[in-house]
Structure 1
């Protein structure tokens, strides 16, 4: 007999069991987003995955919530049933939200949470957080999809969410993930998984675009702006033009986020407007990648055949998306030249904040403690040299901390990463002169640089190794990799194999929009 697939009648929803006992902070009978009303979301239960089992949990995310490390093992909380979609903590109204958006620069119309469910709010030491399941089954916004996530993509999202948090990059978090033998068809038949995600909000640019364009509901758009300010930007309360004030803050947060992405060599492969957070968080880890060899034109998404979201284009794409958000907010400001000018002025801080934030991060990466004219050119010259010789992004900056300013120092550790040694030597002379000009101490600088340049990042081949083991039922590599990535700046000599060069052929690993 054929096993049921995610789209077969056997996958129909089961009535969720109500669990009265819940982890600390779980809010009963009140959900901030649900208070917006039916125009913004649809209440529905998840479609449970059968025979669920734990794959991994994040102790750091649990700590963020104020939950004990054994939250997932406590029988009274039935966490496995909650994460697999078969149970819900009492009074948590599960819902899927509606949004629209531009995908690869083209208006896609109505989208929405096609495989995600908001479980509700949790009051935490860090403030209110939303708990969401991804891979929970079909919703009214699934379009032709099955509402499922596969083990492969869920491992990647789980690991990268927590890895980015450890790097200090603003991000949604991953509390835990479960797997299931339920077959799910992508390019091939894979198995299902569900990840529990955590964030102050999962609001996207696309939520605002929906009510400006698809629904053409100005009152709902105004209510969404007011809601966002009330709960997430309270400092903007009383602003003369709330939509303009909100846009400016979103622009600044987006600039800070993209600068951080660039500084750690992170590529978000699907920077659609429905995948950009209104809070400036990294959201939706589908096809992503960290740079191996430095290449500004690197495309991490196999589906991005035109390179719209290439690493070097991310700053401009984010600005394009901010313009789309500004267009969505226009009905609240007025369709006049003056109103348009107000919104455009609100975007201007992005243009100045991004290069400043990126230069600040790059100064830290090369160990410059002071600001001097010519720093940007010095850093750009290094990046040009790295691109020409395809030097490894993470390893080059990490090894640069060992650079000696002593006269005649060969600096082989970093020099050997370059093919054109003479060109590197010329740059190294400029660098040494710049360091001596500020009286840089080699040992102290090394400590600062190692705190700015990670030794460990989630390279594609590391994720792939963990995925392949998990697909065979062995989750030890997922858990080990999570342990290593919790401390990306530490030496961890016992885990040196996770910090080495990518193996030959690793560039052939493909991640796409099904990832």
Structure 2
């Protein structure tokens, strides 16, 4: 049973200085409230790297006062907890007002990073939800946040997970958990949509000016778009999003729920729910069991991102003031994404420079991977070692159609011969990870954690923090998924 909110009291000062930039925008943007406490909390996982990032003593992170604070049972001294309001399109349909339904922002630290508790109880924006997160989803978010960072992909980070025996009903009764998330900002496309949809232009301008001043100051000095800072903002967000999509596609990451309220204004990967890293390379793969229409299939992600940016452009149009300027700002996505994706794919192939045949070569291997349902991560890692050792037989073994692969390999070898093979292999081994957070690996860590064993989570965390290293003795974590992995269903409640 939850403790009454009145029982929440401040902790001792732990030395974090707070800036509260978002809170300064005023009450039109959020509701101030306290987290709802949970009984008998315990540690599930912590990240020393993220603790250092925000200026927090890693030793303090092991203490009971930290456990209580990051469960929402006590307040960090100087914090100012709030839940923000936003709106958005969900699965392509306007959903109206949404907001932080189970996330509470504690504030922004002097290091310029916001700290947010996810699963800390009901807010005015919870709608029919309970405001809670469960152990299963919190572990997935914690691990994937740190895994994406290890891969070099822009992302929110995860400081820690705490658990509680408090029951939470999803498809079945599970136990409650809170994950502490960290990011420069949790502002989403949906924040802008909210004020635009409600014709609150003063608040829309306040938000845009805040985002520009805090995160995109160069937009004020731009000569592009006739000095229109809001059009420049749209272009910069479009380009960051384009680079992010190129990274997702290159590593085989499926987000699963790319609603506009899940799109970061900073081009970060946020809101890890029904995500998945591809096992077999199936371009039309849908990882979200709730996505009945396949809107967020892996191969549709780049186009969905552009659609979401178009929604952001519509929201910013009252500030931009010129439809052609807005269109021009959006156009950069169509140029930047394919260029960024091609650059990523060249690195995966170890090609040092762009050449005419690159596109044909890249398209060719993607078609072969799909036709043969080849494991995405294993293929690229084996290819990296094949170039290093000049032995392509382990790669050839992945293909049912060996003749087609041999034909592609001949073309690839011709291009590869134009570069230094040792440098190519080195680039590939730094680009193609050995370890990704496959669904079955996360599931194994979750099953153990439900029994009170967090060692599997800790092992995965170590591997995923450095996914390009070999980690001798841990090859099982980089092996083909077991047959039962295909039966794992991940939905919006995950």
The CA deviation at 1:332 is 1.6
Partner of residue 108 from structure 2, selected from 118, 121, 128: 121
The CA distance in 2 between the partners of 1:92 and 1:370, in whole Å, is 49
The total of aligned residue pairs comes to 490
Residues 145 and 12 of structure 1: CA distance in aligned 2, closer, same or farther (over 3 Å): farther
Question: 2:61 maps to what in 1?
Answer: 72
2:329 to 330, 343, 346: 346
RMSD after superposition: 1.4
Unaligned runs of 5+ in 2: none
Offset at residue 495 of structure 1 (A): 1.1
Identify which range, 109-118 or 369-378, moves more after superposition. Answer: 369-378
8 A contact 1:405–1:432 mirrored in 2: no
Instruction: Give 1:446 shift.
Output: 1.7
Unaligned runs of 5+ in 1: 5-9
- Shift, 1:250, TM fit: 0.3
Work out whether residues 73 and 79 of structure 1, in 8 Å CA contact, stay in contact via their aligned partners in 2: yes
In structure 1, what is the Cα distance between the partners aligned to 2:102 and 2:412? Answer: 50
Aligned residue in 1 for 2:21:
32
Q: Report whether the alignment pairs 1:142 with 2:133.
A: no
Cα deviations by residue, 1:46-87 (Å, 9 ceiling, x for unpaired): 001110000000112112223332231246xx2111111111
Distance 1:140 1:55 in 2: 28
The question of whether the paired residues in 2 share the 8 Å contact of 1:14 and 1:86 is answered with: no
Residue among 201, 209, 233 paired with 1:218: 201
SS of residue paired to 1:109: strand
Aligned to 1:207: 191
Give the CA deviation at 1:405: 9.7
Which whole-Å CA distance do the structure 2 matches of 1:199 and 1:288 have between them? 19
CA distance in 2, matches of 1:119, 1:132: 6
- Contact residue 35 and residue 121 of structure 2 kept, 8 A: yes
1:173 to 2:153 alignment: no
Paired with 2:96 and 2:179, the residues of 1 have a C-alpha distance of: 26
Normalised to the residue count of structure 1, the TM-score between the two structures is 0.93
Match of 2:117 among 113, 133, 139: 133
Say whether the 8 Å CA contact 1:52–1:178 is kept in structure 2.
yes
1:422 counterpart residue number: 403
CA contact (8 A) 1:405 1:435 kept: no
Contact kept in structure 2, 1:225 and 1:242, CA below 8 Å: no
Matches of 1:46 and 1:25, distance apart in 2: 19
Q: 1:300 aligns with which of 259, 281, 287?
A: 287
* 1:11 shift after superposition: 5.4
Distance change (3 Å), C-alpha of 1:333 and 1:411: closer
Partner of 1:230: 213
Q: Does the 8 A contact of 2:40 with 2:164 survive in 1?
A: yes
Partner of 2:82: 95
SS in 1 for 2:430: helix
> Please, which of 374, 396, 399 is the counterpart of residue 357 of structure 2?
374
Pairing of 1:361-440 with structure 2 (within 5 A): 361-404=344-387, 411-436=392-417, 438-440=418-420
Return the offset for 1:473. 1.4
Q: Which runs of 4+ in 1 moved over 6 A?
A: none
Instruction: Report deviation, 1:201.
Output: 0.3
Cα distance in 1, alignment partners of residues 215 and 391 from structure 2: 52
